[in-house]
Amino acid sequence: MAVRAVRGAVQLERDEAGHMDEQVGALLTAVLERNGLTADDLISIWFTATPDLHSDFPAAAARKLGIVDVPLICAQELDIAGAMPRVVRILAHIETDRPRSEINHVYLGAAAALRKDIAQ
């Protein structure tokens, strides 16, 4: 079993806790489904949020999905002029038999523009 990393991002329409839970939950669900993973395959998840998001911790959405025994951490993205606003990004470390070339990175909605080279 190899340790791999999978990336993802979603742009929120607004800075509201319920909306963040919904969108981050959809992102995490898509990452798990598209990579054939369960919560038991997760090692850890890093969440980052752009500086304009204040309503909640993105990791709270993972806990609401039942991901309760996986280390999670939240951090703030760099405040770069012209960067896409209201974005939550994830970097999940996983255990999988998939080769690196078969890892499906997930960029939902407008966030697909962030990584057109790897967005699914």
- Has residue 69 been placed in a domain? yes
Task: Check: CB of residue 13 under 8 Å from CB of residue 42.
Answer: no
Residue tagged 């959809």 (tokens): 26
- Has residue 40 been placed in a domain? yes
**Apex 68 CA angle, 20 and 61, nearest 5:** 5
Domain range for 7: 2-115
| Rounded CA separation 98/101 (Å) | 8
What pLDDT digit, counting tens, does each position of 79-114 carry? 999 999 999 999 999 999 999 999 999 999 999 888
The CATH number that applies at residue 62 is 3.30.1330.40
The 3-state DSSP class for residue 13 equals coil
- Has residue 37 been placed in a domain? yes
| 119 pLDDT higher than 70 | no
- Has residue 120 been placed in a domain? no
Look at the chain and report how many structural domains it folds into.
1
What pLDDT digit, counting tens, does each position of 30-40 carry? 999 999 999 99
Task: Check: CB of residue 44 under 8 Å from CB of residue 19.
Answer: no
| 62 pLDDT higher than 90 | yes
- The confidence score (pLDDT) of residue 78 equals 96
Task: Check: CB of residue 15 under 8 Å from CB of residue 37.
Answer: no
